[in-house]
Chains A and B, each alone.
Chain A
Amino acid sequence: MIRFILLQNRQGKTRLAKYYVPLEDSEKHKVEYEVHRLVVNRDPKFTNFVEFRTHKVIYRRYAGLFFSLCVDITDNELAYLECIHLFVEILDHFFSNVCELDLVFNFHKVYLILDEFILAGELQETSKKAIIERMGELEKLE
């Protein structure tokens, strides 16, 4: 199960933070700070997995952005790595060539996309096309 998802830039600014377990605000800030510290200086050749407290963080870097998933220690790391990539592809498709600024100004849309992709800490949909179509339908309702 995914505990939380973080999207941070290299400076550690949080661009998206979704928690599937309840945490105090202060604890959330601490987690965001620690995860950033953990992933930001790792060599690109290193594994994309770091142990974090009693869980592990699966992260992947796209340009200046770090996508980090905190998952259970027994979860399939490679699958979540693939999961991050699928999410990025969806964003890329939705914003057509996504950049950090898209995510900043449309943060609420990013959350909506995420809610169509992952729910309750589990994968909800594996088809990029299905999610993009669903987003289109939702946009029409605005």
Chain B
Amino acid sequence: MNPFSSGTRLRDMIRAIRACKTAAEERGVVRKECAAIRAAINENDNDYRHRNLAKLMFIHMLGYPTHFGQMECLKLIASSEFPEKRIGYLGLMLLLDERQEVLMLVTNSLKQDLNHSNQYIVGLALCALGNICSAEMARDLAPEVERLLQFRDPNTRKKAALCAIRIIRKVPDLAENFINPAAALLKEKHHGVLITGVQLCTDLCKASADALEYFREKCTEGLVKTLKDVANSPYAPEYDIAGITDPFLHIRLLKLLRVLGQGDADASDLMNDILAQVATKTESNKNAGNAILYECVETIMSIEDNGGLRVLAINILGRFLSNRDNNIRYVALNMLMKAITVDAQAVQRHRATILECVKDSDASIRKRALELVYLLINESNVKPLTKELIDYLEVSDQEFKGDLTAKICSLIAKFSPEKIWYIDQMLKVLSEAGNFVKDEVWHALIVVISNASDLHGYTVRALYRALQTSVEQESLVRVAVWCIGEYGDMLIKNVGMLDIEDPITVTESDAVDIIELAIKRHTSDLTTKAMSLIALLKLSSRFPSCSERIQDIIVQNRGNLVLELQQRSIEFNSIIQKHQNIRSALVERMPVLDEATFIGRRAGSMPATVSTSSGASLNLPNGVAKPSAAPLVDLLDLSLDDAPAPSSSGGDFLQDLLGVDLSPASNQSGTNQASKTGTDVLLDLLSIETPPVQSSSSPPDVLSSIQDNKSPVASLEELALPSSLSGQATTPVGAAPMMDLLDGFVSNPPKPENNGSVYPSVVAFESAALRITFDFSKPPGNPQTTSIQATFTNLSPNVYTDFIFQAAVPKFLQLHLDPASSNTLPAIGNGSITQNLRVTNSQHGKKSLVMRIRIAYKINDKDVLEEGQISNFPRGL
């Protein structure tokens, strides 16, 4: 009985589903049907099995789960009737695919059907095999398919040929078995068999070098003749499309010839004539003809060189390119990309047309054209082409701007003939599409600007102008803010004026206005605002007259909800307020950023160049900030995790230099700013209440004290950039307590309870002159907290005065220091100072305590500073 012939229920079900007005209603109908089908499956209902499966296929197409019907397919396939088998195979192809294990069960049925006496049933089996064959089935059934390639019925032969394709795609090893029967198919007259045979040979050539060699030798001539016959055949209504006989066969033949001709001059020679004929004689006013021409051009480009043919091919592409049909232009662009390696000059001739295609309204064409233009650009034409692209950037679609911007930036970087051009073009891109510019691109721009010392003034003025009109482009704002911060004075005084520039008058407050705007604009993101704060700090020193106003702006951000901004404002404010004398040194212009390092880092060699505290990296002008800062930073940086390794050692040093590294340790931004003015300044900035007279200590003392931190002295000396600074900066800072930078970190806790030590005492620190012992105790009920009593003993014959002990811990610890029992430590044996510390370990049980300490005191009014790290705390504190 036929499930589809009359008013059966499949039609009714489809009607019922179509009548549903809402999705919920539809789900209801489907649920009911599925329930009925499941019931029928459980009852093993034979009469309606194929109808039910047909329904399931429809339900499956609507997107509902139908896995429960899979076994029904197998049962139907096993049936002896053609209609049932037909539905079974259809269901098999729709509901299952090669990955399901159920498929294993069908192999046997397939084998039987492939050997069936009814050629229609053989056809069904071949069709299923061709569409869902797995590697395993391919191995099992390859002999059947091989045999069927010689079957008398052409319908079976063509299906078997396509099955063979699937089989060798799954198991390339089986290719050998098919070489001979496939070659036989090439002699066929039946188009269906011929086209599938040609396709099979093409796939065999890809799968096996033997096959390629065999076909090249035995079949090239025959194929050329076949193509000639097809191309010259009289009107054949059965295969005619737009006046051409079987364009599909043309295309398949051209493709196989391409495979055979590639890399073989003899085979290529054989096909020259027919290719020339197809290229010249094919009608190009219809799609079918163009499809053939397109394939022919590709074959000409791929086979061994024949100058005449290539000219012909390029001319066809030129015609395509000026075609009004978008499809044809698209394929022309596509093919020109391949042609560029063959004949770049010829492609260059079409540059203007290609450039027009970049501006097409169709995204597919634009994308192709842009890629092609990208390949076309070289040193000689980069200027005009870039100009065109940038001009187009203005009017292009939003969704295309990302691609376009990336390509333009890459072109500018790759081919820029001189720095001023690079900067000009980048500024244009930033003004037009700054929001699409990737971070590394504007970072690179800053590196270039920094290196172009004669263009600093020009650049900062150009940026200032650009910012007047394009304030909404985030990355433009960032670059501008950075440059104004660095080169603000050049902006005001028109330093380094170039001939091409118009003079502009910018007052100091204009420059501050611009930055204020950037920081207050609510769309500015964190990075921009943070960079603006740094720029303000720098300007506060460059423009003394605006200093107060700048301080106001900074103060406004002290209450910012974003921690990073809040912290920067508080720190910067205190620099402006309390440390006038070091400020100018702190905010010195950045050292020139090293291009080679930056490029190298971008190329992936980053870890080598920035590996912290390795001597080599310290020589890099860029590397300066980070490595030198690192040991000092973690002395105080409570946000760092484990003391010795600075957390951002592998980080983006450029970002660090720019002060935009907001991720791991927020404290660092401030310290990085400072670091570039020299280590000694940094030391002082970071020192907690350095004793007043420390200034009298000579630089070597300072440096040697850092030795504990594993930084080689030599490299640190190199680091002290402006060596003149060392004395000048140290003196005033010594007098200025820096406690305020760390406000809130140190407080006066209540008297610690001392429950006696359950842990062994340790000698925490011992030098020739001083010993510190720690006694530990734990307050009951709070395992995270440890009370430490530090006892300081003087081992020298001199009295220490102004004795100060300082300590810092990583951020998983909290430290409270009580006042010391005295600030005078009597000479040997005559007594000691004690001081109580309380440490709370938030990672109790996972990490043990670690601490950095610094002890400052005076011997006969001479400053001594000692530092060290304590990591020998008893376990479990």
Contacts and interface: CB of A to CB of B under 8 A. Distances in A.
Check if A and B associate: yes
A24 B325 CA distance: 37
A78 B87 contact: no
A108 interface: yes
A81 B295 CA distance: 14
B165 interface: yes
A96 interface: no
Interface string A25-36: 100010000000
B294 interface: yes
B294 A108 contact: no
B163 interface: yes
Given A104-B14, A138-B120, A120 B165 contact: yes
Contact of A49 (B61, B82, B330, B361): B330
Most central of B61, B90, B294 by chain A CB within 10 Å = B61
Contacts of A142: 2, 4-5, 82-83, 86
Contacts of B553: none
A83 B248 contact: yes
A108 B120 contact: no
Contacts of A134: 155
Nearest to A86: B241
Contact of A108 (B57, B62, B288, B290): B57
A78 B238 contact: no
A98 interface: no
A142 to B, nearest CB: 5
B234 interface: no
Given A22-B99, A111-B94, A125-B158, A50 B288 contact: no
Interface string B315-337: 00000000000111111001000
A40 interface: no
Contacts of B589: none
Interface stretch (B188-196, B346-354, B439-447, B490-498): B188-196
A119 B364 contact: no
B247 A115 contact: no
Interface string A99-117: 0000011111001100100
A126 B87 contact: no
Nearest to B245: A126
B192 A124 contact: yes
A141 B127 contact: no
Contacts of B363: 46, 50
Given A83-B248, A120-B162, A76 B239 contact: no
Given A46-B361, A49-B364, A107-B57, A82 B287 contact: yes
B331 A78 contact: yes
Given A46-B361, A81-B287, A86-B241, A120 B82 contact: no
Given A104-B14, A142-B5, A79 B331 contact: no
Nearest to A21: B97
Contacts of B162: 119-120, 122, 124
A50 B471 CA distance: 35
A82 B244 CA distance: 12
B291 A79 contact: yes
A121 B263 CA distance: 28
Contact of B159 (A15, A45, A124): A124
Contacts of B456: none
Contacts of B54: 108
Contacts of A17: 61
Contact of B83 (A76, A78, A141): A141
Given A82-B287, A126-B246, A77 B99 contact: no
Given A22-B99, A77-B330, A108 B291 contact: no
Contacts of A138: 86, 120
A47 B327 contact: yes
Contacts of B221: none
Contacts of B18: 104
Contacts of B327: 47-49, 77-78, 81
A50 B364 contact: yes
Interface string A75-93: 0111101110010000000
B247 A130 contact: no
A36 to B, nearest CB: 13
B367 A111 contact: no
Contact of A105 (B14, B131, B246, B365): B14
A123 B246 CA distance: 12
B120 A137 contact: yes
B98 interface: yes
B127 A115 contact: yes
A81 B325 CA distance: 13
B364 A122 contact: no
Contacts of B330: 47, 49, 77
Interface of B is mostly: helix
B291 A82 contact: yes
Contact of A23 (B5, B94, B97): B97
Most central of B127, B295, B367 by chain A CB within 10 Å = B127
A94 interface: no
Given A22-B97, A119-B130, A125-B158, A105 B11 contact: yes
A5 to B, nearest CB: 11
B249 A82 contact: no
B143 interface: no
A78 B290 contact: yes
Interface string B225-250: 00000000000001101000011110
A130 B83 CA distance: 21
A108 B238 contact: no
Contacts of B165: 120, 122
B874 interface: no
Contacts of B192: 124-127, 130
B4 to A, nearest CB: 7
A79 to B, nearest CB: 4
Contacts of A50: 363-364
A51 interface: yes
B251 A79 contact: yes
B384 interface: no
B291 A141 contact: no
Interface string B407-438: 00000000000000000000000000000000
B686 to A, nearest CB: 53
A37 interface: no
B765 interface: no
Contacts of A16: 61
B362 interface: yes
Contacts of A43: 361-362
A104 B251 CA distance: 33
A77 B294 CA distance: 9
B63 interface: yes
Contacts of B57: 107-108
B58 interface: yes
Interface string B93-111: 1100111000000000000
B473 to A, nearest CB: 28
Contacts of B247: 79, 82
Nearest to B155: A134
A76 B295 contact: yes
A106 B246 CA distance: 29
Given A47-B364, A77-B327, A130-B238, 19 more contacts: A43-B361, A45-B326, A45-B361, A45-B362, A47-B330, A47-B362, A76-B255, A78-B291, A79-B247, A107-B61, A120-B163, A120-B166, A124-B195, A124-B196, A125-B158, A126-B249, A134-B155, A141-B82, A142-B83
9 contacts: A15-B61, A42-B362, A47-B329, A76-B251, A77-B330, A107-B61, A119-B159, A129-B238, A141-B83
What 8 pairs between A and B have smallest CB-CB spacing?
A78-B291, A120-B130, A22-B97, A46-B362, A120-B166, A119-B162, A125-B192, A47-B326
Interface of B: 2, 4-5, 11, 14, 18, 54, 57-58, 61-63, 65, 82-83, 86-87, 90, 93-94, 97-99, 120, 126-127, 130-132, 155, 158-159, 162-163, 165-166, 191-192, 195-196, 199, 238-239, 241, 246-249, 251-252, 255, 287-288, 290-291, 294-295, 298, 326-331, 334, 361-365, 367
